[in-house]
Amino acid sequence: MNLSRIAAVQWLSFAVAVAALLYLLSPILTPFVAAGILAYICNPLVQRLCARKMPRTLAVALVMSGILLLFILLLMIMLPLLQKEISLFVARLPDWIEATRTHLLPQLQQWFGVSLKWDSQALQNLLVSHWQSADGVTGKLLPWLGSGGGAIIGALVSLLLIPVAMFYLLRDWDTLVAQLDELIPRNWHRKVTEIAVEVDRVLAEFLRGQISVMLLMSAYYVLVLWLAGLEFALPIGIVTGMLVFVPYLGMIIGLSLATLAAVMQFPSFSGVLWVWGVFGAGQLIEGLAVTPWLVGERVGLHPLAVIFALLAFGQLLGFFGLLLALPLSAILLVTLRHGKAWYLSSSMYRQP
């Protein structure tokens, strides 16, 4: 009995140490976690290719090439939109400057009681000259890149690290799983394997649910933005919906693109407000209904548990926690199920 208690304390201490280490290293673990999630998603496809006598390295290269093609397709959808919007912005800039002079300037003079001079042509020439002198901006940015710009460089390095880590994880997946299997204590091996199989099933359901969320939200944004009269409803809706699997990223990119498109297209600000309303409603529908329904029910989590998991892990670990919130909740759910079954069959519960 004492030995079992000592072992329990040792494993509990080990779990606490691992949790503390994950918390401390969470700022640099994000690319590895993202690579691990992508590798987990793509591993079944790699396994199918390997079952057809294809070398694993070649199978991994083909799968990652497919992901790269999808990423390029996404860029091909976004870049024409950005190019047209920038062209419209440059073309309409003189009209906006003149509208500011004729409408906003008198209001400012009335409110503050001061006389303001406004030369629209001089302002246009100033903006154009600064736009054309973009070559000099590079030299001004170099000192900033050495200080505050280091965060951007770090983010770019993390992005480049994701495909590298993903390649090695996919290539050595079976070896890594076998090595982890060897570390499991033999007297726990059967139970741990049973839990691992159930966790794998729950995570597969989670991924299917997340894909359903992406498709449904893409359809929502395309349809509702089209009903709002936005010209670029199709590409903006697809991009926003496909990126909802990364918390807040889809919202930020989609809202930015839609706002820019609305400002270029609609003559009054009411059109922009309609677009903002579409995205606000989309966030509420996704967070309070679609994700709890399609993801939470698939993994056996109550909708309130899904919302709590997103808030709790986001608060504890930031973006890293948001990325792991639902998968970790699914793993915790499976562990608690087995813990409950053990407790109900234990003498602690049954003794009078």
**pLDDT for 80-112, tens place per residue?**
766 776 777 677 666 666 666 666 666 666 666
User: Token pair of 197, please?
Assistant: 């199989």
Split at pLDDT 50, 70, 90, the class of 20 is confident
CB 254, CB 230: distance < 8 Å:
no
Separation of alpha carbons 197 and 188, rounded Å:
14
Q: Please give the radius of gyration of the chain, using alpha carbons only, rounded to the nearest integer.
A: 27
Report pTM.
0.62
Contacts of 223 (CB under 8 A, 6+ apart): 233, 237
The helix/strand/coil state of 230 is coil
Q: Taking Cα atoms as reference points, which of 79, 80, 106, 93 lies closest to residue 263?
A: 93
CA distance 315 to 267: 41
Q: Give exposure, 189-228, as e/b (b: 16+ Cβ within 10 Å).
A: eeeeeebbebbeebbbbbbebbebbbebbbebbbebbeeb
Contact (Cβ atoms closer than 8 angstroms) between residue 325 and residue 309 = yes
Question: pLDDT tens digits for 147-197?
Answer: 455 556 666 777 788 888 889 999 998 888 888 888 887 787 887 788 888
**For all residues of the chain together, what is the average pLDDT?**
75
- For the chain, the residue count is 352
Is 281 a residue whose pLDDT tops 50? yes
CA-to-CA distance for 54 and 58, rounded, in angstroms?
7
Cβ neighbours around 338 below 10 Å, total: 14
Q: By the 8 A CB rule, do 219 and 197 touch?
A: no
Among residues 316, 233, 318, 326, which one has the least CA distance to residue 287?
Answer: 326
Higher pLDDT, 8 or 251: 251
